Structure 1
């Protein structure tokens, strides 16, 4: 895989391939970064924040596309991003305007695989989660609830875990550890409610 320079958006949330997130962009430097991406000057990568680090994010990020944007009530820009490809940040530098530009190398995405057996429970639970969180649900035109990789990554994006703990699961070669983790969470939650 080839290296590529990418503009970095760093937030305290996780975006993985095929996932979607809406972010708020404010200020001249943030808006100019989005403009540079839209003009094709840079590809865009979304990194999860990491304190006391240069750049201030974890080394595994997600190349993403801007799929929609709108003006928010406070005058800021709301930008909807869709994750495309996992990338590793090899190096990064901060420009005078405060934005980060990173040299990245493409990584393998988790392979699609069917959800089977007791793991169908995490798929059903995710569908329920989206129904009670309509702002997230509205970001997706299709829910791929039959795909273990897709379901696992969506759970990693929304679970209230420390960023470092999410990174342990993100750095696995496939979705299996995440599937096991989420299934155990759901089972233990169900047992507490009995």
Structure 2
């Protein structure tokens, strides 16, 4: 099992492989992280903060996603905005904190969910997701390409969007495929 060192950006939201997320960067430590990431083209890790958790890494959940920056821009308030795209899931093995407070983690990667073709009894989930994108231009504009025929892609986008608890999302992220998330989605959104 190969380990890698990644800077961590703890957030209250999460991103999964092939997902996209706009992020507002304010703190100096994260500006440094973005500069380093851009120079080395290495990306960084996005992890969820769980305010109810006190685990081995404090409030930081153990599963995250390695992301790459796909766009930079200046926000109306003058702060840095970036869009990132999820690449690979990982599990945190250890965390250290640098002098400026930036968390660095030793991580090992876990296999992303395999692609699965949408079948007839799952198609409505893709249709509802497409409808949601059409209603919300800010989310829709993040995706130039959508893989609505891949139920793994669809499931991951729903997990990112639905107001599930951090522990529920982490439980789904631990899965080796999208089947557990599909069962939950079908319960939350019956046909």
TM-score between both structures, scaled by the size of structure 1 = 0.92
- Map 1:164-179; keep pairs closer than 5 Å: 164-179=167-182
Partner deviation per Cα, 1:83-111 (whole Å, 9 max, x = no partner): 00011110011111111000010100000
Partner in structure 2 of residue 19 of structure 1: 19
- Map 1:1-194; keep pairs closer than 5 Å: 1-40=1-40, 43-51=43-51, 52-53=54-55, 54=57, 56-187=59-190
- Do the aligned partners of 2:42 and 2:68 also contact (CA within 8 Å) in 1? no
Find the residue that maps to 1:58 and give its secondary structure.
Answer: strand
Task: Report how many residues are paired.
Answer: 188
After TM superposition, give the deviation of residue 79 of structure 1 in Å.
Answer: 0.7
RMSD of the alignment, in Å?
Answer: 1.4
Find the residue that maps to 2:78 and give its secondary structure.
Answer: coil
Distance (Å, rounded) in 1 between the aligned partners of 2:41 and 2:102: 14
Partner deviation per Cα, 1:120-143 (whole Å, 9 max, x = no partner): 010101001111111111000111
Distance (Å, rounded) in 2 between the aligned partners of 1:181 and 1:119: 12
**Closer/same/farther in 2, CA of residues 41 and 70 from structure 1, 3 Å limit:** closer
**Closer/same/farther in 2, CA of residues 15 and 166 from structure 1, 3 Å limit:** same
- Do the aligned partners of 1:20 and 1:82 also contact (CA within 8 Å) in 2? yes
After TM superposition, give the deviation of residue 152 of structure 1 in Å.
Answer: 0.4
After TM superposition, give the deviation of residue 43 of structure 1 in Å.
Answer: 3.8
TM-score between both structures, scaled by the size of structure 2 = 0.94
Give 5+ residue unaligned stretches, structure 2: none
